[in-house]
Amino acid sequence: MSVLRMLPPVHRLLAQPSIATLSESLGHQVVAEGIRLVLETIRKELLDGSRVSISPEEAAGMVVAHLTQKERPQIRAVINATGIILHTNLGRSPLAPTAARAAYDAGRGYLNLEMDLESGKRSSRQTPVRKLITRLTGAESATAVNNCAAATILTLRVLAQGKEVILSRGQLIEIGGSFRMPDIMSASGAILKEVGTTNITRIGDYEKAIGPNTGALMRVHTSNFKVVGFTKEVSLAELVELGKKHNLPVIDDAGSGAIHDPTPYGLKGEPIPQEAMRLGAAVTLFSGDKLLGGPQAGIIAGTRYWIERIEKDPLMRAFRCDKMTLAALEETLRIHLDPDRARKELPVLAMLSADITDLENRARSLGGRMLNMGLDALVSVDHAFVGGGTLPEERIPTWTIRITPHRGQRADDIAKKLRTGEPAVVARIDTGKIVIDPRTVFTDQEQPLLDTLNRVINHRPDSLAPVTVSG
């Protein structure tokens, strides 16, 4: 039992400078608990002979390593080296710095969220977003909720609760997660009336389906799949014309809602909200964090008549955005007022419109630095995917670096170590290689990315090596 005399007492560890510093940031309680866990591990190791000695400094080092690992935030920044610009699992759209700043400021203090500062009277939190969306899209009015799924449920409920909504079988989409059009429809209380077939739906199909209980006509953008070959879809213009004839509102679920047409960057056929408004759709719905490049939100733009009714629905309260989202959204929309600013300052649009020669140069420079580190890195032309769950079919040309693991290493082991590294790096794996796409890597992340690769693949010691602690 005498080996246990080597165990440093808790108070001695607490007095070690490195631990005292940690106590200031994490709090005494958390640190004391960490010390107990580490001492327990050391005690077991001394008893079973797997450890023969321990000094207070050594124990303190283990405590610091353990706490740094265990108590670091669970939600942390990740370097996205996948090239997938709208990566749903990685938070979809990174914000413009000024939009992130607006959210930060809104979070830290008080703000005129629902107060008109001129009159001192209560105002709507939707006013700033409404003003900017109407300017950008030409809509009469607009409002914002938590996401496009909420926007869809709310809109269907207000426009067509208990009534039939006519939708093409070719547009009965599942977006992923639990967004499936038939389920969204029934959750809203509207009745789905399917028309046409998977590949062909004609305007006559909609017209035949119109009856005394029809509430609305709907168009859903098939954002995550393509039907090719013998196909026919009714245009929004035709649908609006039919709606006018029968006095029925047309709901346009646009999904991404590209304020600036992304066709020049290789994204064809993305619905443009301005277009839906010009054509006369009652409402158009789109996400805040897809091609808009802002925070998670669902925008409902449309006629004053319908927006007023939507805002009066009790679900509006349940779906409304918080102050940080609204602050970031306002700033994002403000950036969109100028297309050049939007392309430069909104990361999603900057990445989407990145010049292919610039990407090649960045890939070559990164690849060269990797070779210098002793990695087997090959630079080549490749394809980037715009979205994970959002626009997964859309590919744009890019340049990537393919790293062949050292002998005896497996690509998926390396990928895991990269993900759990500091900073965390998420890369693609393709046929046994680690693929790095600079398109989604911010330039100030290049050096940290190289450092993580060096540590993980070349086994350079990681200063935050986890200590295994039982219990």
Ligand X SMILES: *Cc1c(COP(=O)(O)O)cnc(C)c1O
Residues that bind ligand X (CB under 6 A): 147-149, 152, 175, 179, 220-221, 223, 253, 255, 287, 298, 390
Nearest-approach distance from CB 182 to ligand X, in angstroms: 13
First to last CA, the chain: 22
Token pair in block for residue 354: 């990145």
Distance CA 287, CA 231 (A): 27
Distance CA 411, CA 403 (A): 9
Nearest-approach distance from CB 178 to ligand X, in angstroms: 10
Cβ distance to ligand X smaller for residue 62 or 133: 133
Nearest-approach distance from CB 471 to ligand X, in angstroms: 41
Cβ distance to ligand X smaller for residue 16 or 287: 287
Cβ distance to ligand X smaller for residue 223 or 445: 223
Distance CA 436, CA 352 (A): 17
| Residue 118 DSSP symbol | T
HEC per residue, 59-72: HHHHHHHHHHHHCC
Cβ distance to ligand X smaller for residue 34 or 196: 196
Cβ distance to ligand X smaller for residue 170 or 298: 298
Nearest-approach distance from CB 167 to ligand X, in angstroms: 12
Which of 99, 158, 108, 101 minimizes the C-alpha distance to 132? 99
Place of tokens 């409920």: 157
Strand 433-436 to 428-430 pairing: antiparallel
- Evaluate whether 292 touches 88 at the Cβ level (below 8 Å): no
Nearest-approach distance from CB 322 to ligand X, in angstroms: 16
Distance CA 403, CA 425 (A): 14
Cβ distance to ligand X smaller for residue 66 or 221: 221
* Residue closest to ligand X when measured from CB atoms: 255
Which of 307, 390, 266, 329 minimizes the C-alpha distance to 136? 329
Write the single-letter amino acid at 450: L
3-state SS assignment for residue 200: strand
HEC per residue, 270-330: CCCHHHHHHHCCCEEEEECCCCCCCCCCEEEEECHHHHHHHHHCHHHHHHECCHHHHHHHH
Question: Exposed/middle/buried for 435, CB within 10 Å: 0-12, 13-18, 19+?
Answer: buried
Nearest-approach distance from CB 390 to ligand X, in angstroms: 5
Nearest-approach distance from CB 405 to ligand X, in angstroms: 35
Nearest-approach distance from CB 146 to ligand X, in angstroms: 8
Cβ distance to ligand X smaller for residue 251 or 403: 251
Cβ distance to ligand X smaller for residue 148 or 350: 148
DSSP string, 421-459: SSSEEE-EEETTEEEE-GGGS-GGGHHHHHHHHHHHHS-
Nearest-approach distance from CB 396 to ligand X, in angstroms: 18
Cβ distance to ligand X smaller for residue 79 or 153: 153
- Evaluate whether 223 touches 254 at the Cβ level (below 8 Å): no
Distance CA 100, CA 288 (A): 14
Cβ distance to ligand X smaller for residue 149 or 333: 149
Cβ distance to ligand X smaller for residue 223 or 274: 223
Nearest-approach distance from CB 316 to ligand X, in angstroms: 16
Nearest-approach distance from CB 450 to ligand X, in angstroms: 33
Nearest-approach distance from CB 184 to ligand X, in angstroms: 8
Cβ distance to ligand X smaller for residue 92 or 402: 92
DSSP string, 211-234: -TTEEEEEEE--TT----SS-B--
Write the single-letter amino acid at 322: D
